[in-house]
A and B are shown apart, each in its own frame.
Chain A
Amino acid sequence: MTIQEAASALRDRKVSVLELTDDCLKRIGVRNPELNAFLTVTADEARAAAKIRDEELAHGRDRGPLHGIPYALKDCYCTAGIRTTSGSRVFAEYVPDHDAAVAVKLREAGAVLLGKTNMHELAYGITSGNPHFGLVRNPVDPERVPGGSSGGSAAAVADNMAFFAMGSDTGGSIRIPAAFCGTVGLKPTTGRVSRAGVLPLDFTLDHMGPLTRSVADAALVLQAIAGYDPADDSSSREPTGRYLPHGELDWKAVRVGVPENFYFDRLDPEVHMAVRQAVQTAAHHGAQVKTVRVPDMAAVNTVGRVILLSEASALMEPYLDQRGQFGADVLALLDQGRLLPAADYINAQRLRRTMQRDFARLWQEVDVLFTPTVPTAAPRIGETSIQIGDAMEDVRLASTRLVRGLNVLGVPAISLPCGRTKSGLPLSLQMIAAPFEEARLLGVAAAVERW
């Protein structure tokens, strides 16, 4: 059931908020022992909130499409009175006295918080194999990773434990788990959604966004959480749009760009075929499909790595005398960041500016780019390298290869399901648009979803 379907059932009195909430809690009780998607379940608080939302509806107070919808927050979103770990032993006992700005907006929109989801330690990795709180398993195949770092959020949504879940995306951490688990994952434009009150991984690449079971649901959540927030220095005053797609898309008015370089290199053949098929279908519906040359995305990725390594290490520097508090993979990244000289960081931020300008020229030619989200389906748990074509590639670098650069550039991107492999694993399509063009991006994505 999607948010839209649940919202409709609530207003038709076919179900109550408390029943929806209890169904989710029951599902969590059954499935979480295996999947480990939730670190904290706030069942009592959720039921209490559900009763209030039911009473509001009974008295004619309707907060909108998220009223009474049970959801989860990745455990890096601060929640007043509820432990917020960021998947780290360093913050294992941290209980904030405030809510993240997104959590406040969702409460005002009437959503019901079920709990906090497991994640890759500090949001610094793509497997969600958390050494402190246990690994998250992919609900489609529990022997495979769910992706990360928002792996618990993706697993919870894919397995019907929550109607939606919030994630964070610094180098693909919403889109990768969405792709591996078969959900929708939206990384909005930099500054579109407030980062205030979220334990950061870095200063200039973090983005907050939803994981959902449909594109329309992603639009509904974005509508609730988008907007200027003076508490976040990166927050934009750009007016928000009308994000929920409405009516049939006029494909003839859509210019679809297909990169001729980078994005279709070194892909699993099933991924390649699924995305090419989506492009062909868009053309069949009348879209103007154009082959475009994108700027050097490998270089953008390199710049992104320098920025992330430097900023994450600067953030965690006060804790690095407690080396035993970190998992091996995260500690290795933090040590790499400590070695980078300041001049490299500054030059990376200078290169970022030139790359943003180069990439922006694309939007004169096309409205939306179609690319794969990840080069393969979900890897097996414990795999550190993966076969892609004839070559072996590091799982982390391969999984972030097609997504990381967009955090450097700040453009919005969405990952949506795009078929299955022969073995039944989810395949995905990434769509990218110009800054603050989320409405257009979601409109095209919703049309693709209907095929």
Chain B
Amino acid sequence: MLEPMKDWKQLAAARDLNIPAEQLERIVPVMEGLEASFRPLARGLKPEVEPAPVMLVHPERHA
């Protein structure tokens, strides 16, 4: 299945990130490259896999 790439310029505008247009021109190709590498990896994740950093509770600090 061919998925459309993210439109990084629209994302920046929608989130009001205030990134100048010339900067966006420079970084969009980098984001597209990263997206192309990352998306297939993320697609293979199984639901039971949790994120690496976990919430740590230190009871001794609340004693």
Contact = CB atoms under 8 A, between A and B. Distances in A.
Interface stretch (A48-56, A285-293, A351-359, A374-382): A351-359
A351 B34 CA distance: 15
Contact of B42 (A230, A305, A321, A351): A351
B5 interface: no
B45 A347 contact: yes
Interface stretch (A5-13, A20-28, A100-108, A328-336): A328-336
A338 interface: yes
A203 interface: yes
B45 A336 contact: no
Given A302-B41, A339-B8, A356 B19 contact: no
- The range of chain A's interface size is 20 to 34
B51 A350 contact: yes
A346 to B, nearest CB: 6
Majority secondary structure, B binding face:
helix
Contacts, number: 76
B19 A302 contact: no
Majority secondary structure, A binding face:
helix
A204 interface: yes
Contacts of B4: none
Contact of B52 (A230, A340, A350): A350
A409 to B, nearest CB: 10
A203 B53 contact: yes
A344 interface: yes
A299 B50 CA distance: 18
Contacts of A347: 41-42, 45
Given A302-B41, A332-B23, A336-B31, A350 B50 contact: yes
Interface of B: 8, 11-12, 15, 17-19, 23-24, 26-27, 30-31, 34, 37-38, 41-42, 45, 49-53, 56, 58, 61
